Each structure stands twice: as structure tokens, then as C-alpha cells.
Amino acid sequence: MSSDYEALLNATIEQLQSLKRTGVQFIRIEADTLQTLAKPIPRKVTPMVTAREHQGEVVAAAPVAAFEMSREPLSAEEKEAAMTELRCRAMQCQKCPSLASTRKNVVFGTGNIHTELMFVGEAPGADEDAAGEPFVGKAGQLLTKIIQVMGYNREKVYIANILKCRPDTPGQLSGNRKPTADEMKTCLPYLLAQIQIIKPKAIVALGGTAVEGLFGKTAGIMKLRGNWQSFQNIPVMPTYHPAYLLRNQSISEKRKVWEDMLQVLEKLNQPISDKQRNYFLKAG
Ligand code: URA
């Protein structure tokens, strides 16, 4: 892709995201523009990797850009270009036909790709599918609060999911379901590429499915939470999913998640105030 095209695309994505944040749900668009947007993007051909090892398993064959095979750190511009290209590819993905035909949006990821901290969730729900942005529903609002109390905001970290499309629920008007093992395996190369581009200093895995997506079947979130794991040499802190905290309002469960976040702040050498240290302690 040319850098002009990239700059334009990034500016358009930012503009649309900022409109969405202010509550805009629909925009007028000329039929010609829509047709142009639907055309394939002019870009350089990237090498195909037929199969890759992931935690001892072979991940489904996926086209990956050259950056994925390079161990060299990427410049800020290379990161932007690689992420834009990856986003474009994900937006057109048809690998899971039923998810592609039922989704309203591909929910690629949001935030700062130069961040030191990344959050990984499970899959978009109905709100995220409608908005095209991860963690914007009730669980997302709680996550946003946690991120703010940590001293960051959504624009300073990066948030993504194991699955980029909402798991379909045929015959049901509402409700969510856990992604299948096949769906996770199929979609995982996008998340792997996001992690390799961002190279965060820490990842927070939100809930059992995020942990399963990254590490395969493990001891489970109840046992793993609070204990550092490693994914491609990046420290990963498994913690409860915010939706769990919405279902289980006990202060002691909130405190556990908060202790996990304190560990993350320590790992990132972030200053921690007394107020931050003591959240949820009184009633715990
Ligand atoms: N739950 C998730 O795991 N991800 C989202 O984006 C929203 C809810």
C-alpha cells in the first residue's frame, strides 16, 4: 500500500471511531464510494506461510506479512503500515463462513499500537458487533473503568479479542456463546500478528477463553489467575473476565482482579499510589 493510501485509511478509521464514540451510528455514503471501498485493496503480495508452530500445535495456514517472520523491531511507521494491512485483511475475512455471513462488523481491535500494555478478551458480543469495537458493552464499560483506575485510558492501551467476529447464535435473538475450538484456531493468526506488531511489555488475558486461545487447554482461569504466564516471551497476566465480575459482585472477587492489575503495573514499573494499593481492601 502506498503511504498516502495508508495515511488516508488511518485518518478515515480514526474519524469514524471518533464519530462512533460521540454516539453516531450511521453515516451517509455515496453509492460510488461504497463500491470503491468494496474493491480489493491495492497492496504488495505478502508471502504465504503454510503452517506455523503454536504451543506445539500447528496453527491453520494463514497469509502472514513479512514482519511476522522478522525478528527485527519495527519502526513506528512500519508498525502502522503492518497493522493497517492486517486490519484490511481481517475486514474482508471469510474464513468462518457462518460468522462472516452473520456479523455486522469485524471487530479487529482498538487503541494504541505503540503501547506497552495489551488486553485480550474472548469475542465480540452484540454491542461490539454493532459498534465494530471491542469491549463497549456492559463488561466493556467495566474494563474501561479498570483501565482508567490503573492510570491509563482506552487510547493508551490496545484491546483485542481472540475472535474478531461475533459467534453466531442461530435461532436466538440475543445471547452469546463461547467460540468453538475451530473458530479460535482459525482466527488466532490475526491476534498473533497483532501481538507481534505491537510487541507489548505485558498482556492481560481476560477470562478462561482468552487464556485457552493463547495457551490451549490449561488448568483453567480459577487456578491460573494472578500467576504470570509467558507467550512468545511476553508476560501474560490471566485474570477474570469483567463479565464474571458483573455476575459475581463480591468485593473479594473484585479485589482479586485488582491485585492482578497491581502486578501488571509493577511489571511495567508504573507508580502505584496508596489509594490504588488499597482498592477493595476494607470489605475484602
Ligand atoms: N467480551 C469479550 O470478551 N470481548 C468483547 O469485546 C466484549 C465482551
Residue 18 pLDDT: 67
Question: What pLDDT does 222 receive?
Answer: 95
Instruction: Tell me if 204 sits within 8 A of 120, measured CB to CB.
Output: yes
The alpha carbon dihedral of 39, 130, 210, 238 has a sign of: positive
In this structure, the residue with its CA closest to atom 7 of ligand 1 is: 135
Closest CA to 136 of 262, 213, 25: 25
Measured CA to CA in angstroms, residue 115 lies from 28, 143, 194, 247 at distances of 33, 17, 12, 30
pLDDT, position 23: 72
pLDDT for 193: 98
Q: In the prediction, which pLDDT does 213 show?
A: 96
> Can you give the pTM of this predicted structure?
0.78
117, three cell numbers = 500494555
Cα 210 to averaged position of ligand 1 atoms, centre (Å):
10
Pocket probe mutation, ligand 1, options 119, 120, 128, max atoms within 8 Å of Cβ:
128
pLDDT given for residue 33 in this prediction:
67
C-alpha span between 220 and 212 (Å, rounded) = 8
pLDDT of residue 279: 95
Calculate how far, in angstroms, residue 135's C-alpha sits from the geometric centre of ligand 1: 5
pLDDT digits (tens), the chain, 284 positions: 555 666 666 667 767 776 776 777 677 676 666 666 655 555 443 433 333 334 433 233 333 444 444 567 889 999 999 999 999 999 999 999 999 999 999 999 999 999 999 999 999 999 999 999 999 999 999 999 999 999 999 999 999 999 999 999 887 767 789 999 999 999 999 999 999 999 999 999 999 999 999 999 888 999 999 999 999 999 999 999 999 999 999 999 999 999 999 999 999 999 999 999 999 986 54
- Report residues whose beta carbon is within 6 angstroms of any ligand 1 atom: 121-125, 128, 134-135, 137, 139-140, 161
Report the C-alpha gap between 164 and 91 in whole angstroms: 9
Residue 192 confidence (pLDDT): 98
Q: Please state, in angstroms and rounded to a whole number, the distance separating the CA atoms of residues 161 and 243.
A: 14
Q: How far is the CA of 209 from the centre of ligand 1 (A)?
A: 11
The reported pLDDT for the residue numbered 126 is 94
| Pairing between β-strand 158-161 and β-strand 117-121 as defined by DSSP bridges | parallel
